[in-house]
Chain A
Amino acid sequence: MDRFFLVIVLIVGLFVGYLIGYSIPPFIEAGVFTGRQEKGVKVMIDEKVKKYYEKLYEEEE
């Protein structure tokens, strides 16, 4: 295979590898890979952000 193509694949692989690595700890913290009781993932939503959107909705109305 063309060595230059492999360089491109390597660069893309590095970025994607980093993104995968970045996303694994949250799964571990949420207990997805270890003894999870229920399906799905509990998401911690920032209360400030939640209130912002509730207000945004009211403003639009």
Chain B
Amino acid sequence: MDTGTRKRRFWALAIVGFFSLISISTYTYNENYIYLSVYLWFGFIYGMCLQYGRFCFASAFRDLFAVGVPRMAVGIMIAIIFFAFVSAFVTATGISTFHPSPVSLHSVIAGLFFGIGMVFAGGCASGSLYKTGEGSGTALLVVLSISLTQSTFVDIGGVFNKLVPHSWRESALSKGLPDAINVGDGWVDQYLAGYVWNQPITTFAKMLGLDNESFVGAYVGNLLVGVVLPALFLLTIVYILFAKKRYEKEIRKLKNISTLGIKDHLSGFWSMILSSKRTAIAGLILGIAAGLHMFVIEGMRIKFGVRNAGEILKRIGFDFGLSVRGTVFDPGYWYVTTQEAQWVGWVFQKMGWNHMDNIFFGYINGIPNPAFNPADWMSLALIGGAAVMALLNNEFKFKMPTKELAIWAMVGGFFMGIGSRLGLGCNVGAFFVRVANGDPAGWLFGIGMIVGAYIGVKFFNWWTERKMAKELEGMNF
């Protein structure tokens, strides 16, 4: 074994050892910490899977729209189907911690912002986290930019209040929120309480008149109608637009025929599916892990007699930053952006900028100390898990961003931060998890994200060509 391999293995083991030590020592100190360890170890698995499957939505859409390679986009669709199978099981057994989101046009607009941002940044919310684990400084900047944008955006008022429609303001004020929440001051507050909360919440099962938690509702309504059929439709479109020509050429050459039958196209379609094996395997494990995550968290909630980690934090002696309802962000499954906003919100709060008078932090998610925030344990462990996989695959390398990449990362992160808060989640929380759980809002966010990614790719190409033309001009070429 060479020195490089030995060194990489040492660091991989050191990372696993670090998380093991945190888990064991905190559990020994106080049993309640096991609740946080659930997030830690599932986050670690998510990180390993994301790195192994190169699970990045930005790369997937960039490959598709810029060079016509559908491999990763197909892999993500397959991963959603696998995850949906597990989610249907979890829902049917009544232990799901998933809550559907309000359905309206706002999800499409949010997805549009997010899609543009992820292409500019060169990585989506989950992709930037795992790439940070690979040592990418650019990805870390993206994460910082998303975090900063979100925590600022949710508290911004003043002149932005003038942009709030009167009906939103009236509706928000009529919600009877506690005085501690200054709902009349803040664009996002009035957007949430005055518009988003008024939108219908449903699932595909409910839309078909089925009980969401019944076997038929979960498997036929949410899985078959809500995921498998739309995913097959999208995969067919991807095959026709991006893969058909190449397979036609290959099959024509192989069989020496001029016209292809339906059987040949089915074989081409299947080859397209199989070409994304690595992403699909990662998706399968992600799906199983996310399902188990929900199961374990629900078990812990019964065991400790709580409905939210806020009560756990109180018991272990950390009640700073709990929301006015005593809650903190505790989704019970895989999520990315909210905890990123929280840690910057916590820093701002400590610096004297009151972040607890808005709905996002003060009424719903809180801003607990990042060292004891369950979802932050998940994100940190996710980076750790990705780092371990990168070290074992010899893909870990510290890379400082160039000035240009840093600017793109900050701009992209800004757009993603805005999109995340408008859509109440990112490519994971607002799309991947929602779609897999039969929430129509997930598809709406996805439509916006695809359109946004397309616009982002076209703009990026235009920018690059313009820049190259200028450089060539300067060289008198």
Contact = CB atoms under 8 A, between A and B. Distances in A.
B45 A12 contact: yes
Tell me whether chain A's interface is mostly helix, strand or loop, or mixed. Answer: helix
A34 to B, nearest CB: 13
B324 interface: yes
B303 A22 contact: yes
Contacts of A41: 94-95, 298, 301-302
A8 B41 contact: no
Contacts of A36: 94
A32 B292 contact: no
B12 interface: yes
B188 to A, nearest CB: 20
Interface residues of B, number: 44
Interface in A1-60: 2, 4-5, 7-8, 11-12, 15-16, 19-20, 22-27, 29-30, 32, 36, 39-41, 43-46, 49, 52-53, 56-57, 60
Nearest to A24: B299
Contacts of B297: 23
Interface in B397-436: none
A8 B12 contact: yes
B20 A30 contact: no
Nearest to A39: B94
B300 A23 contact: yes
Interface size class of A (residues with CB under 8 A): 35 or more
A16 B392 contact: no
Contacts of B16: 8, 11-12
B180 A23 contact: no
A15 B298 CA distance: 17
Contacts of B326: 52-53, 56-57
B178 interface: yes
A40 B302 CA distance: 11
A5 B392 contact: yes
Interface in B218-253: none
A49 B325 CA distance: 12
B437 interface: no
A15 B37 contact: yes
* Residue of B301, B302, B325, B392 with most chain A CB atoms under a 10 A cut-off: B302
Contact of B299 (A7, A23, A52, A53): A23
B296 interface: yes
The 4 closest A-B pairs by CB, nearest first: A23-B299, A53-B326, A26-B302, A60-B180
Interface of A: 2, 4-5, 7-8, 11-12, 15-16, 19-20, 22-27, 29-30, 32, 36, 39-41, 43-46, 49, 52-53, 56-57, 60-61
